[in-house]
Structure 1
Amino acid sequence: MRKIEKKGDQGLLSIYYTAGYPTLDSTVAIAKKLEESGADFLEIGFPYSDPVADGPTIQHSSEISLKNGMTVEILFEQLKDLRKHVSIPVYLMGYVNPLLQYGVERFCKACKSVGVDGIIVPDLPMYEYEELYKDIFEQNDVANIFIVTPQTSEDRIRKIDNLSNSFIYLLSSNATTGTELNVGDKTAAYFQRIKDLNLKSPIAIGFGISSKESFEQAVSYATGAIIGTAFVKLLTKDNYLDEIPHFIESIKA
């Protein structure tokens, strides 16, 4: 498992995009170009017909991906040569329904075989993970990435930190994806509260990161930040692969 190391505030950039969007066979080409352009780790979404936590841009990308014919089976087939092209950590992100339909053990074994480092499943309850799936994940060296929200109690955050063997995904707000991050006093206090817990796990902040300014605000409190909607919008351009280096540079330069 490739690790995201916690070494102070490193300013790591993660990019989220949906597998099978904009075209069915674009998944690995985008990953390769993102690493070449300076992304530090990747989150590849496996599409679902009812993505309730996502805003309209990512919902639309899931709809198009499904229309293009993307399935979990096809995604793993596409990723079988992933590690010939990509060396940075790669995580799959999606909802529990397709995970259960595919089979959790089968999914984790497939992740191990193609070199996927972990899975982010926001609607997988922690107690279910602990009781039913923790051993399967660990036997296949696949991390389960837990979500922390502004409402998560300190006791639960401490438990998440103890269970984590990768990073913790910190939601900037309770909004859906695509809502612009505004680090006002309330959000800043929330980020500072988490930072002051001195957790052993790296923290990556997601939801609403879309610009150099919002990225720098986020990574002043965390190891990394995640951009999704703003990048998925880029993929609507005909020359999206050529635009990726300019996009990453605009965030990290």
Structure 2
Amino acid sequence: MNRINKLFQDKKSNILSIYYTAGFPGLEDTLKIAEELEQAGADLLEIGFPYSDPVADGPVIQASSKQALENGMSLKTLFKQLKELRSRISIPVLLMGYVNPMLQFGVENFCQACAEVGVDGCIVPDLPMTEYELYYQETFKKYGLCNIFLVTPQTSEERIHKIDALTTGFIYLLSSSATTGKNLEVSQSTEAYFSRIKGMNLKNPLMIGFGIHNKATFDQACAYASGAIIGTAFVKSLNESPSKKSVTAFMEAFRA
């Protein structure tokens, strides 16, 4: 069984997923941070592969991508680093990034490399659902990879059901249609949106992301989903103090 599916089978609530950018703050920090996050209690990791035009990301993650690229990070370098992944990390790991670097690397090569190093799935926000279904779905299946789709407040119920049918891990429920980094504000309309999706009885679990920045917003998200994804807040903390002690302190604030 894919590690992502096993996680959601074994743990039904309060799943904590952390996103960070590969090669940031330093080029060789990728696995060190993964180890520190697992030791501090993360359930799931999303490792971002940087891209020069990260249009869905806010300034904090954009800056981390820029720094990672300047440090020399690339998909080729990332997969070299991840050769040690499964000797050091046991929790599920996703790669997250944009479709252009994946296409340049070659989709088959990308999926094969993911499988060889023990990556469990991918989140590629700008990969069109139709193209995935027509051209890439069988390749992802061949290498045992989950492909995670995103749902926004504007996504139609018809499309959500289609996403649910194509999904093999979880559905990434965006708290808003804004870029990353905007703090979550659970208004009546946001609550109605979360409740509507929760009430659709989808076959896949839900994870809420965008704007989860403290224990209160994590708990709010977990009331409507299996867990939540923290990205900008963690990347920001790495900017301030990229040490094991600071990673542990960051995680303890969400586990209190």
Same fold by TM-score, threshold 0.5 exceeded? yes
User: What CA RMSD, in Å, does the superposition of the two structures yield over aligned residues?
Assistant: 1.1
SS in structure 2 of the partner of residue 21 of structure 1: coil
> How far apart are 1:158 and its partner, in Å?
0.9
The residue type paired with residue 233 of structure 1 is K
Give the match for residue 34 of structure 2. 31
SS in structure 2 of the partner of residue 92 of structure 1: strand
In the alignment, the residues of structure 1 paired with residue 235 and residue 72 of structure 2 have an alpha-carbon distance, to the nearest angstrom, of 18
Give the match for residue 155 of structure 1. 158
Give the match for residue 131 of structure 1. 134
Contact 2:25 2:242 in 1 (8 A): no
1:161-176 superposed matches below 5 A: 161-176=164-179
1:1-253 superposed matches below 5 A: 1-2=2-3, 3=5, 4-5=7-8, 10-253=13-256
Contact 1:9 1:219 in 2 (8 A): no
Deviations 1:59-111 (A, max 9, x none): 00000000000000000000011011111110000000001000000000000
> How far apart are 1:163 and its partner, in Å?
1.0
In the alignment, the residues of structure 1 paired with residue 45 and residue 205 of structure 2 have an alpha-carbon distance, to the nearest angstrom, of 15
> How far apart are 1:20 and its partner, in Å?
0.2
The worse-fitting range, judged by mean Cα deviation, of 232-241 and 16-25 is 232-241
The residue type paired with residue 117 of structure 1 is D
SS in structure 2 of the partner of residue 26 of structure 1: helix
**TM-score normalised by length of structure 1:** 0.98
In the alignment, the residues of structure 1 paired with residue 8 and residue 73 of structure 2 have an alpha-carbon distance, to the nearest angstrom, of 32
The residue type paired with residue 227 of structure 1 is I
In the alignment, the residues of structure 2 paired with residue 50 and residue 182 of structure 1 have an alpha-carbon distance, to the nearest angstrom, of 27
- For structure 1, the residue ranges without an aligned partner over 5 or more in a row are none
Contact 2:14 2:226 in 1 (8 A): yes
**TM-score normalised by length of structure 2:** 0.97
Distance 1:139 1:28, change over 3 A: same
> How far apart are 1:237 and its partner, in Å?
3.2
The residue type paired with residue 249 of structure 1 is E
Contact 1:6 1:201 in 2 (8 A): no
Contact 2:60 2:232 in 1 (8 A): yes
In the alignment, the residues of structure 1 paired with residue 242 and residue 45 of structure 2 have an alpha-carbon distance, to the nearest angstrom, of 21
Contact 1:207 1:227 in 2 (8 A): yes
Task: Give the percent of matched residue pairs that are identical in Structure 1 and Structure 2.
Answer: 60
The worse-fitting range, judged by mean Cα deviation, of 7-16 and 113-122 is 7-16
* Superposition misfits of 4+ residues, deviation over 3 angstroms: 6-9
> By percentage of residues, which structure has more helix?
2
How many residues align? The count is: 253
In the alignment, the residues of structure 1 paired with residue 40 and residue 87 of structure 2 have an alpha-carbon distance, to the nearest angstrom, of 17
> How far apart are 1:43 and its partner, in Å?
0.3
The residue type paired with residue 237 of structure 1 is E
